[in-house]
A = this chain, B = another copy of it.
Amino acid sequence: MARVVVDVMLKPEILDPQGQAVHRALPRLGFEGIADVRQGKRFELEVEGPLDDAALARIHEMAETFLANTVIEDFTVRVDS
């Protein structure tokens, strides 16, 4: 069965409090040298049937309408090899 990964991240201009919280905690925990952290979501979809252009187009539509809020988030769709 084919696996498709949809990554959803806040747009660069949108404040990311989760990422900021992680970023600020790192020096306290002894990890230096990280300039920025952004946190987002990763969806792994197990796709039935052939993973043709039509299936990928449907997954792209699904990501755009349901998995991501495209007002504030960007997403990428890729086949996991």
Contact = CB atoms under 8 A, between A and B. Distances in A.
Interface residues of A, number: 32
Interface in A12-61: 19, 22, 25-26, 29, 31, 33-49, 55, 58
| Stoichiometry, copies per complex | 2
B46 A34 contact: yes
A1 interface: yes
Interface of A: 1, 7, 9, 19, 22, 25-26, 29, 31, 33-49, 55, 58, 62, 65-67
10 contacts: A1-B35, A19-B43, A19-B44, A26-B66, A29-B66, A31-B62, A33-B58, A34-B48, A37-B44, A39-B42
